[in-house]
């Protein structure tokens, strides 16, 4: 996630001029700046918004000062991410004012989960905002922008419309990278007591298999080799199969596996309760399904898990991952953990550490509990003081770092197929991903970008591996 408007990374995909000749035909194309906060689904959504706007003649810019339209695609999952939006909006307001002095119009739009959760409150706190648009209405962006421009009044659109936004968005444009995201499922009905997702993204919805095959084929035709299937609760996928009946994530993975030049399939994020036997076995049988599984467990204490409404115990979680390991012994497991949930005692926290020690994770994301307005946990008794949360998080992160070092260290001396994705920091170096999602550096020429090549791993750092290409 970016921390300021200055250190922006490009989030839009291509310059549409490259495909459509828009720039030649219309040198004064409108410029759009999109800043993406939060999860991979927001990255996917930003790309799709960019595509919807490209069809209207917008080209991307990384320079907010020259943007005719600035979009913040926001995240509401923790308080810090949500508050960051308001400080960025203050800066955007100043830019809008300065550009207006030079006779230039600047539209400011807030999209994503803060838009959905806070709606008109955003316009109240930041009147310079022209448009607030929830994640279900991105296909209507051009029309909504038109309205906000015409009426002189801010437009707020946070309904959950009946039409399918995925059908209404323009066809995906070419991807540049060797790997790409593909949203297959949105929303969540699990209602974990700490989480805003069911309120901001709505109920679970799965896209049909046929539409996903179509989108995946287009990505693969343009050089994508690795597709990450995205969903807030991706293993709860239940979209219509090719026969018109609902199918599971395993059914979808089997169909996508038939796409010839697609080499790697991953999926994120899963819920332990939806980890069916068919999906576990797919990790053994489906060659293209990578040996990597992100499976959040959140807490190691059964009392806290019950208060979180997670619908599983620590023991059930540990038994589940041993079944996954039976099917695929080399699988890299990753997880999400929250510390300082209301009522969490020192003993509860020790239970979390115990699960981390026992599970042997390759990777983990850990967070301090952040009370979210409107969620049941935010008003529970026993809110944990900030100091205790910080202390627990530091201890947990030390343990996670140790586990990560063990996992990466065990890769040294092995040969791994690496999908090279881009140039590395040093001349003549490329960076790619192992099947276990580890970053791997090796000396190699740019012609290997997009190719899967065997690499002998020679050393392991804190966050990546280094190796040499097998001669
Ligand atoms: N659907 C996934 C799941 O079931 O875990 C992930 C959803 S959420 C986008 C990603 C992670 O953010 C969660 O797994 C959880 O660890 C963390 N998270 C969600 N709400 C939180 C909160 N209120 N405070 C701290 N962390 C939170
Ligand atoms: Fe949030 Fe995940 Fe729980 Fe759904 S399953 S409520 S997305 S943490």
Q: What rounded mean pLDDT belongs to the chain? A: 90
Is the shortest distance between the CB of 352 and ligand 1 below 6 Å? no
Contact 139, 165 (CB under 8 A): yes
What's residue 28's pLDDT?
A: 65
Rg of the chain over Cα atoms, rounded to whole angstroms, equals: 23
Check pocket membership of 191 for ligand 2, CB cut-off 6 A. Answer: yes
Phi, psi of 432 (to 5 degrees): -145, -170
346-359 helix and 386-409 helix, angle to the nearest 10 degrees: 10
Q: Which of 90, 96, 93, 48 is nearest to 73 (CA)?
A: 48
Residue for token digits 């595509």? 51
The pTM (predicted TM-score) of the whole model is 0.90
436 CB under 6 A from ligand 1? no
* Digit-coded pLDDT (tens) for 359-418: 999 999 999 999 999 999 999 999 999 999 999 999 999 999 999 999 999 999 999 999
- What is the per-residue pLDDT for 167? 76
What does the pLDDT look like over 410-435, one tens digit per residue?
999 999 999 999 998 889 999 999 99
Between the alpha carbon of residue 145 and those of residues 11, 19, 170, 448, the distances in Å are 20, 24, 17, 42
Cβ atoms of residues 332 and 321 within 8 Å: no
Please name the residue whose Cα sits nearest to atom 13 of ligand 1: 336
3-state secondary structure (DSSP) of residue 101? helix
Q: What was the pLDDT predicted at 173?
A: 58
What does the alpha-carbon distance between residue 425 and residue 57 come to, in Å, rounded to a whole number? 34
Q: Structure tokens of 397? A: 């992160």
Binding site membership of 419 for ligand 2 (Cβ less than 6 Å):
no
Determine the atom of ligand 2 nearest the C-alpha atom of 336. 8
465: Cβ–Cβ under 8 A, 6 or more apart, which residues? 408, 411, 412, 434, 438, 439, 440, 441, 457, 459
SS3 268: strand
Q: What is the pLDDT of residues 25-58, one digit of tens each?
A: 445 689 999 999 998 999 999 998 998 898 889 9
Q: Nearest to residue 59, comparing CAs of 33, 37, 96?
A: 33
372: Cβ below 6 Å to ligand 1?
A: yes
* 335 Cβ below 6 A of ligand 1: no
Closest protein CA for atom 1 of ligand 2: 195
pLDDT value of position 221? 92
Distance CA 126, CA 101 (A): 20
- Going by pLDDT thresholds of 50, 70 and 90, the confidence category of residue 172 is low
Mapped onto helix, strand or coil, the DSSP state of residue 461 is coil
pLDDT of residue 161: 74
Ligand number with the minimum distance to the CA of 299: 1
Residue 384 to residues 61, 82, 347, Cα–Cα distance (Å): 43, 21, 14
Cβ–ligand 2 contact at 34 (below 6 Å)? no
Length in residues, the chain: 471
Nearest to 340 by CA among 277, 372, 402, 386: 386
Residue nearest atom 3 in ligand 2 by C-alpha distance: 192
Q: Is 188 in the pocket of ligand 2 (CB under 6 A)?
A: yes
State the distance from the centre of ligand 1 to the C-alpha of 195, rounded, in angstroms. 6
Q: Are 267 and 234 in contact (CB under 8 A)?
A: yes
Nearest alpha-carbon partner for 267 in 311, 316, 227: 227
Residue 165 pLDDT more than 80? no
Distances (CA, A) of 205 to 102, 228, 239: 45, 18, 8
Per-residue model confidence (pLDDT) at position 176:
64
Q: Is the CB of 270 under 6 A from ligand 2?
A: no
The DSSP output letter for 153 is S
Ligand nearest to the CA of 294: 1
**372 CA distance to ligand 2 centroid (A)?**
13
Residue 359: exposed, middle, or buried by beta-carbon count in 10 A (0-12, 13-18, 19+)?
A: buried
Q: 77 in ligand 2 pocket by Cβ < 6 Å?
A: no
Q: How confident is the model at residue 149 (pLDDT cuts 50, 70, 90)?
A: confident
Q: How is residue 341 written in tokens?
A: 């949930």
SS3 call for 88: helix
**To the nearest whole percent, how much of the chain has pLDDT over 70?**
92
Ligand 2 atom showing the smallest separation from residue 298 Cα? 8
If one counts every other C-beta atom within 10 angstroms of the C-beta of residue 35, the result is 22
Most ligand 1 atoms within 8 A of CB, residue of 311, 336, 380 to mutate: 336
pLDDT value of position 80:
87
- Nearest ligand, measured from the Cα of 39: 1
Q: Could you tell me the pLDDT band of residue 139, with boundaries at 50, 70 and 90?
A: confident
- The residue among 408, 403, 337 whose CA lies nearest residue 367 is 337
pLDDT at 15 over 60: no
Assign 10 a pLDDT band (cuts: 50, 70, 90). Answer: very low
For residue 151, what pLDDT is reported? 64
Closest CA to 67 of 113, 98, 111, 46: 98
Tokens of 32: 């759009």
Ligand 2 pocket residue status of 273, Cβ below 6 Å: no
Q: Averaged over 290-309, what is the pLDDT?
A: 98
* Ligand nearest to the backbone CA of 296: 1
**Mean pLDDT in residue range 267-282:** 97
Average pLDDT over residues 84-106: 95
For the Cβ of 91 lying below 6 angstroms from any atom of ligand 2, the answer is no
Within 240-342, where are the H helices? 249-257, 277-285, 302-307, 314-327
Q: How does DSSP classify residue 42? A: H
92: Cβ contacts below 8 Å, ≥ 6 apart: 5, 64, 70, 72, 106, 108, 128
Instruction: Give the tokens for residue 2.
Output: 């970016």
Which three-class secondary structure state does DSSP give residue 418? strand
Indicate whether residue 389 lines ligand 1 (CB < 6 A). Answer: no
pLDDT value at position 175?
55
Q: Judging by beta carbons within 10 Å of its beta carbon (0-12, 13-18, 19+), is residue 178 exposed, middle or buried?
A: buried
Interatomic CA distance for residues 123 and 130, integer angstroms: 8
Kindly indicate the confidence band of residue 16, based on its pLDDT and cuts at 50, 70 and 90: very low
Say what the pLDDT of residue 8 is. Answer: 36
Q: What pLDDT score does 169 carry?
A: 72
Q: Mutation test of ligand 1: which of 80, 320, 367 has the most ligand atoms closer than 8 Å to its C-beta?
A: 367
Q: Mean pLDDT across the stretch 181-205?
A: 94
Give the number of whichever ligand sits closest to the CA of residue 233. 1
Centroid of ligand 2 to alpha carbon of 295 (angstroms)? 12
**Cis amide linkage into residue 385, ω under 30° from 0:** no
Task: Tell me whether strands 107-111 and 464-469 are parallel, antiparallel or unpaired.
Answer: unpaired
**Chain segment 441-460, per-residue pLDDT in tens:** 999 999 999 999 999 999 99
Beta-sheet strand order (sheet of 264-268)? 179-183, 226-230, 264-268
Task: Assess whether pLDDT exceeds 70 at residue 20.
Answer: no
Mean pLDDT of 201-220: 94
The average pLDDT across 157-184 equals: 77
């Amino acid at each position: 996630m970016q921390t300021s408007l200055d250190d922006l990374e490009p989030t839009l995909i291509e310059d549409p001029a490259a495909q459509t000749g828009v720039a030649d035909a219309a040198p004064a194309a409108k410029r759009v700046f999109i800043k993406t906060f939060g999860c991979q689904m927001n990255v996917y959504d930003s790309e799709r918004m960019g595509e919807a706007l490209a069809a209207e003649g917008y080209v991307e810019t990384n320079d907010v000062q020259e943007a005719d339209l600035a979009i913040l695609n926001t995240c509401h999952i923790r308080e810090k991410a949500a508050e960051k939006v308001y400080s960025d909006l203050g800066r955007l307001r100043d830019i809008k004012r300065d550009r207006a002095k030079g006779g230039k119009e600047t539209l400011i739009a807030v999209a994503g989960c803060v838009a959905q959760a806070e709606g008109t409150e955003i316009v109240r706190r930041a009147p310079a905002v022209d448009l607030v648009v929830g994640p279900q209405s991105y296909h209507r962006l051009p029309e909504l922008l038109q309205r906000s421009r015409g009426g002189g009044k801010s437009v707020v659109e946070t309904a959950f419309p009946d039409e399918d936004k995925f059908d209404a968005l323009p066809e995906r444009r070419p991807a540049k990278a060797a790997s790409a995201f593909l949203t297959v499922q949105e929303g969540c009905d699990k209602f974990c007591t700490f989480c805003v997702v069911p309120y901001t993204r709505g109920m679970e919805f799965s896209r049909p298999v046929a539409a996903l095959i179509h989108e995946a084929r287009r990505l693969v035709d343009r050089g994508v080799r690795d597709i990450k299937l995205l969903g807030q609760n991706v293993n709860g996928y239940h979209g219509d199969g090719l026969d018109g009946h609902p199918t599971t994530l395993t059914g979808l993975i089997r169909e996508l596996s038939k796409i010839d030049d697609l080499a790697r399939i991953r999926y994120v994020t899963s819920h332990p309760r939806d980890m069916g036997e068919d999906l576990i076995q797919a990790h053994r049988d489906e060659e293209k399904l990578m040996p990597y599984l992100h499976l959040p467990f959140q807490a190691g204490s059964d009392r806290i898990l019950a208060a979180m409404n997670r619908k599983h115990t620590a023991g059930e979680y540990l038994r589940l991952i041993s079944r996954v390991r039976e099917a695929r012994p080399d699988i890299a497991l990753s997880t999400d953990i929250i510390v300082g949930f209301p009522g969490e005692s020192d003993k509860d926290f020790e239970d979390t550490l115990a699960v981390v020690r026992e599970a042997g994770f390759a990777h983990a994301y850990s967070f301090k509990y952040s009370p979210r307005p409107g969620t049941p946990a935010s008003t529970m008794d026993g809110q944990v003081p900030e100091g205790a949360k910080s202390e627990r998080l530091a201890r947990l992160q030390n343990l996670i770092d140790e586990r990560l070092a063990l996992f990466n260290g065990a890769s040294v001396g092995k040969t791994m197929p690496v999908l090279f994705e881009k140039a590395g920091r040093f001349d003549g170096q490329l960076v790619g991903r192992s099947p276990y999602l580890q970053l791997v550096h090796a000396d190699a020429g740019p012609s290997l970008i997009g190719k899967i090549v065997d690499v002998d791993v020679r050393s392991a750092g804190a966050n990546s591996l280094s190796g040499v290409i097998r001669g």
